[in-house]
Structure 1
């Protein structure tokens, strides 16, 4: 009897790895590389010209050596990094885990996902062109896309390229997407910030901005103070005003009106009518936000109304949630299926 039990036990051990392998979901892999950008060279903040870039390769990438894949360029938010989103650093989201789940379940076709590290000295590039922070719009839309097409098995055409982002990344998505339909055919905005002017700053908030005197002070500043400094670096650069190389943000206890005009001019709802022809070329446009995420939820409703006025097809949803608590779920159930539907996979 003991010998039979021992034999059965050993037999089970031998079979266990086979069973586990067969039942395990297929997982993709992540590479973290550096991509040099000539468009980022010489920026006055001293941000790297060869930022880190995280690349998610789907499960079939290494198994099917001749297969090519559509690509989604996913832009992270303000003060975030690619490392946080891809699980290299603990964060509120782990993108590869979400994407593995979606592909294993068959909810979406497999695709490559690419995220550059757009963290700058002041907290974020806003994916804009600036002598101070660097020409991030050019880097993402031209140099990064060219590099990925050259080094990975992509389907290198606009119909197979999507652009998405959260918060600052959502802003970057519509900014770059509406300017470059020859590069990206579909865009998805997750809780996009900075679509419209607003958010009047209190006297206390202005005093905090004025208290930042050196680059070292930025690390100690609160989120909204950093955001103002990043706005200035992205949208009101000034090469003659060290150490921040921006127009003055505060003058005589008030927001500098010249700087504010430049900021407002860079907010998509102020200029969207100039890009309608480009937006009409898009295969897919989607965006959403949580109902407690104000003023973002109110602003995407305006975006929805503008696109409706021009009879541009799009998907729009305001769901129950805040700025981050449902983003993983939205990527799983909305964003990835959206790109699966709209991106050409052959």
Structure 2
């Protein structure tokens, strides 16, 4: 693999969306967002042909330009996707790269008074923007969503909440089984908050926002838990409630608000189970050495999908030998599988 990019066989278009849903969001983050849309080889030569679409969302702290960050000896995911279609290894689809970054690291792709209306932005504005400008098969039966980590979380919950928009999903090490992936971190974060900021979230935020991020060892752990709380447990007035007290023990009434967003528990509710049964394809995978134990989350979500009544033929489940990071080589596998299922 050369250490630089090559000309793609398809085309990657850059756009900016002026979002009404994100205008005036509580964090003051930009309402104009970048969007990239990839069209496969042959798109311009076949003006009558329409294509399925796959929306790709990022993990916590992800910003759209990061799709093009290059690791040594490894192609980026956009390059891997282009190679997939250039070699004819999957039916061609339109791939949409979505930005949902926030100044607390992410949105979990939910509507929240703590971060803004990112679920509405994705489902209402981004999808309609793409369908209006590209020759998509503009139907949920030909539209999928895919992501890793927090993006994998968004890929699980978005179709459960809006099965009219997305009819297939792929989750790579997505946040799930919150008692296992989130709760064990609470005592450590409570100790860091106590020792560095006298237990004050406000003091941490003022310090974090007043200097270069990442220059203190505690930065990522603290902002990550605050970012999740901003998505899962913000009050109507925007007040963000952490789910643990000064001892690291959970605050039951706040923790219940988090659990209400756990994909494993969501899948058991009748309306969400019905949404899952309507999916044309569900891909679930994770590394067996995942540092956040999201392999257990993947197993639990697979079992929840089965309990919801989804046919085995509509599900691909796999655990593979890897940790949480550097698994971008898995994304084209799911993309090809979804493309087969979405193509008429």
1:203 is displaced (CA, Å) by 4.1
Distance in 2 separating the partners of 1:168 and 1:337: 21
Change (3 A) 1:55 1:208: farther
1:309 equivalent in structure 2: 307
SS in 1 for 2:317: strand
SS in 2 for 1:273: coil
Gaps of 5+ in 2: 1-5
Given candidates 266, 286, 303, the residue that maps to 1:271 is 266
Distance in 2 separating the partners of 1:203 and 1:183: 39
CA RMSD after TM alignment = 2.3
TM-score normalized by structure 1?
Answer: 0.84
2:331 equivalent in structure 1: 331
Change (3 A) 1:26 1:54: closer
1:136 equivalent in structure 2: 118
Distance in 1 separating the partners of 2:160 and 2:127: 16
Given candidates 261, 264, 284, the residue that maps to 1:287 is 284
1:259 equivalent in structure 2: 254
Given candidates 200, 203, 208, the residue that maps to 1:217 is 208
Gaps of 5+ in 1: 1-23
Q: Which ranges of 4 or more aligned residues in structure 1 deviate by more than 6 Å?
A: none
SS in 2 for 1:115: strand
Does 1:322 find its partner at 2:319? no
Contact 2:177 2:300 (8 Å CA) reproduced: no
Contact 1:197 1:267 (8 Å CA) reproduced: no
Change (3 A) 1:207 1:26: closer
Distance in 2 separating the partners of 1:84 and 1:56: 16
Contact 2:91 2:343 (8 Å CA) reproduced: no
SS in 2 for 1:317: strand
How many pairs align?
315
Distance in 1 separating the partners of 2:34 and 2:50: 23
- Structure 1 range deviating more: 137-146 or 254-263: 254-263
1:116 is displaced (CA, Å) by 1.6
Distance in 2 separating the partners of 1:46 and 1:168: 22
1:36 is displaced (CA, Å) by 2.4
1:180 is displaced (CA, Å) by 1.5
TM-score normalized by structure 2?
Answer: 0.84
Contact 2:63 2:99 (8 Å CA) reproduced: yes
